[in-house]
């Protein structure tokens, strides 16, 4: 049994943070699934790279431009094709997991990060256009995104909450899921167990920022990203307590067979070469979680990772490390606030780069 399947036995799903039409057509995605990968995520940067590295999209670009569609519409048509095809490849995983795994995610426009109504409208359109039950719509965990999450979940639309950095933002996203799912259950629109969500908590970027704020020899360097995630995981256990005597808001939903909103560890490629290349996989392994990894990290974990249940250990140590960070004069709240702002801006820049790539390729093809 390989490390990916060992992780799955320990309760963690490994998703691939990559998608392309070449990967779908060549059977490469199926090979990853055969290894134990149970999901795929996408974002504008991934699509931009796919367009840049391949001529596979050329025919579709020309076809989708024939009616005079703008570049945003052309991109959406391309993305919907790939996401639908990926969902079909992952459908057996979804069915075998009783609708609890086997998902592919697509992002609403990053330009809507501070627009609740716009996010809801675009998410509904993407959900309807793809028309697959094992798709998640990525919505940023911004103040404007939180009410959108609640609305979409209440309508039975699967949501991948992205760009979570702080504990407070995670709690807001989790509560939006619980409230939205409660509304869905009460509405009689469908069965709560069919609605799935993950909360994507970003890890390595936290260490990058914290390390910059600390002296080169400080003992907390390279530790706060995982500590921040562990504290969020402890909060997950509290919010999604499935025992009647736990007093949590989720128990009534759990009794109907509803799924928990799993924490997803994102940004798990190690950016500092001095750190182990499986740092954010080995150290964040535990039940009811997902880790979405780039291909290089997947290869490293497959080769020499250590599947276990590290998330369930060292919670008090993680809290102590966050307290020590504050004592060192570094505010984790300021860092996570800045990371959210930078993350929204970076996603928007990636989106504009992607749209520019479409303009360039169309111009070249028409010439």
- In 3D space, the residue among 261, 270, 267 whose CA is nearest the CA of residue 17 turns out to be 267
Q: Residue for token digits 């950095």?
A: 165
Weakest-pLDDT range from 100-104, 138-142, 251-255, 332-336: 251-255
* Whether the predicted pLDDT of 245 surpasses 80: no
- Say yes or no to pLDDT of 247 above 70: no
> Does the pLDDT value for residue 54 go beyond 90?
no
Whole-angstrom Cα distance, residue 268 to residue 225?
Answer: 10
CA torsion 288-294-298-301 (nearest 10°) is -80
Alpha-carbon distance 36 to 16, whole Å? 11
Task: Quote the CA–CA distance of 62 and 366 in Å, as a whole number.
Answer: 8
Cβ-proximal residues to 277 (8 Å cutoff; 6+ apart), any chain: 270, 296, 297, 300
Which one, of 103, 81, 23, lies nearest residue 292 by Cα? 103
- Which residue, 107, 112, 135, is CA-closest to 47? 107
Q: What is the mean pLDDT of residues 14-21?
A: 95
Task: State the catalytic residue, choosing from 138, 150, 223, 230.
Answer: 138
140 contacts 227 by C-beta, under 8 angstroms: no
Share of the chain above pLDDT 70, in %: 98
d(CA 139, CA 155): 15
Give catalytic status of residue 361 as yes or no.
Answer: no
- What is the separation of C-alpha 196 from the centre of its chain, rounded to a whole number of angstroms? 13
**255 or 116: which carries more pLDDT confidence?**
116
Angle at Cα 207 formed by Cα 237 and Cα 163, nearest 5°? 60
Q: In whole angstroms, what is the distance from residue 140 CA to residue 340 CA?
A: 9
Superfamily (CATH) of domain 3-366: Aldolase class I (3.20.20.70)
This prediction has a pTM of 0.96
Structure confidence at residue 246 as a pLDDT band (50, 70, 90): low
3-state DSSP assignment of residue 138: strand
**Backbone phi and psi for residue 334, each to the nearest 5 degrees, phi listed first:** -65, -40
* Residue in the structure block whose two tokens are 């303009």: 359
Q: Which residues contact 33 (CB under 8 A, 6 or more apart)?
A: 89, 90, 93
pLDDT score of 191 more than 80: yes
Report yes or no: 359 and 71 within 8 Å, Cβ to Cβ.
yes
Q: How many CB atoms lie within 10 A of CB 45?
A: 16
Mean pLDDT, to the nearest integer, of 111-136? 98
Q: Which residues pair with 105 in a beta bridge?
A: 136
């Amino acid at each position: 049994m390989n490390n990916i399947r060992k992780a799955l036995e320990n309760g963690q799903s490994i998703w691939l943070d990559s998608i392309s039409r070449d990967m779908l057509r060549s059977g490469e995605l199926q090979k990853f699934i055969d290894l134990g990968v149970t999901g795929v995520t996408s974002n504008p940067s991934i699509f931009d790279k796919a367009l840049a590295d391949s001529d596979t999209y050329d025919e579709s670009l020309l076809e989708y431009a024939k009616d005079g569609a703008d570049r945003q519409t052309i991109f959406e048509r391309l993305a919907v094709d790939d996401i639908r095809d990926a969902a079909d490849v992952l459908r057996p995983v979804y069915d075998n997991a009783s609708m609890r795994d086997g998902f592919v995610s697509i992002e609403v426009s990053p330009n809507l990060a501070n627009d609740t109504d716009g996010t809801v409208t675009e998410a509904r359109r993407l959900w309807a256009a793809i028309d697959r039950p094992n798709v998640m719509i990525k919505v940023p965990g911004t103040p404007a995104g939180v009410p959108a999450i609640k609305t979409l979940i209440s309508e039975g639309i699967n949501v991948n909450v992205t760009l979570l950095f702080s504990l407070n933002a995670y709690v807001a996203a989790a509560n939006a899921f619980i409230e939205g799912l409660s509304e869905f259950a009460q509405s009689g629109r469908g069965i709560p167990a069919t609605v799935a969500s993950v909360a994507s908590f970003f890890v390595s970027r936290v260490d990058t920022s914290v390390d910059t704020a600390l002296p080169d020899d400080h003992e907390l360097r390279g530790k706060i990203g995982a500590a921040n995630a562990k504290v969020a995981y402890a909060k997950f256990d509290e919010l999604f307590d499935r025992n009647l005597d736990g007093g949590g808001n989720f128990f009534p939903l759990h009794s109907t067979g509803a799924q928990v909103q799993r924490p997803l560890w994102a940004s798990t490629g190690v950016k500092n070469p001095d750190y182990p290349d499986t740092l954010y996989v080995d150290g964040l392994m535990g039940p009811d979680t997902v880790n979405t990894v780039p291909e290089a990290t997947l290869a490293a974990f497959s080769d020499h990772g250590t599947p276990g249940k590290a998330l369930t250990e060292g919670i008090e140590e993680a809290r102590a490390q966050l307290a020590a960070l504050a004592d060192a004069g570094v505010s984790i709240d300021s860092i996570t606030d800045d990371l959210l702002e930078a993350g929204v801006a970076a996603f928007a820049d990636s989106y504009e780069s992607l749209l520019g790539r479409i303009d360039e390729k169309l111009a070249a093809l028409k010439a």
